[in-house]
């Protein structure tokens, strides 16, 4: 029987060879090479991190912050390089979700077959 961690490392290596990963790597490099896109992407990810921190701490999002976040997201969505990168990221995300579904299938099957208790 193969070591499960060896299989995981093989999966990692295979994931790096996937066209979706290659597209994301290339589009990320293009964003980083373009000063305007890099700056806008940094601003966009900074806003996303602030939203996550506020949500984790239970802090609400005020209207001004929401408007600022929407404005930055709008500009990022209009940037062709960032759009391309986000599309590639979504495609890779789909691959990873599919892999995750396969990995957790044994647990789902086990719980689905568990006898019900009254």
Total tally of structural domains belonging to the chain: 1
Q: Is residue 118 included in any domain, yes or no?
A: no
Quick one: DSSP state of residue 2? -
Which pLDDT belongs to residue 60? 84
**How far is residue 25 from each of residues 18, 52, 58, measured CA to CA in Å?**
11, 25, 34
Q: Is residue 30 included in any domain, yes or no?
A: yes
Under the banding of pLDDT at 50, 70 and 90, the label for residue 118 is low
CA dist., res. 21 & res. 16, Å (int) = 6
Domain CATH for 18: 1.20.1500.10
* pLDDT, tens digit, 9 for 90 and up, residues 80-100: 999 999 999 999 999 999 999
Residue 36 structural domain: 4-113
Overall pTM surpassing 0.85 (yes/no): no
Positive/negative CA dihedral, 51, 20, 94, 111: negative
Q: Is residue 108 included in any domain, yes or no?
A: yes
CA dist., res. 33 & res. 61, Å (int) = 33
* pLDDT, tens digit, 9 for 90 and up, residues 25-64: 999 999 999 999 999 999 999 999 999 998 889 888 888 9
Q: Is residue 58 included in any domain, yes or no?
A: yes
Q: Is residue 102 included in any domain, yes or no?
A: yes
Give me the mean pLDDT over the 73-80 stretch. Answer: 95
Residue 114 has pLDDT above 80, yes or no: no
Q: Is residue 39 included in any domain, yes or no?
A: yes
Q: How far is CA 114 from the centre of its chain?
A: 33
Which pLDDT belongs to residue 54? 86
CB 32 within 8 A of CB 57: no
């Amino acid at each position: 029987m193969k070591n499960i961690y060896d299989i995981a490392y093989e999966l990692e290596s295979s994931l790096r060879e996937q066209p979706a990963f290659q597209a994301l790597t290339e589009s990320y490099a293009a964003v980083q090479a373009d000063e305007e896109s890099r700056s806008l992407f940094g601003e966009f990810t900074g806003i996303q991190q602030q939203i996550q921190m506020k949500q984790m701490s239970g802090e609400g999002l005020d209207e001004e912050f929401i408007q600022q976040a929407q404005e930055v997201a709008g500009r990022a969505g209009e940037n062709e390089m960032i759009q391309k990168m986000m599309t590639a990221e979504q495609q890779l995300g789909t691959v990873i979700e599919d892999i995750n579904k396969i990995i957790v299938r044994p647990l789902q099957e086990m719980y689905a077959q568990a006898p019900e208790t009254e």
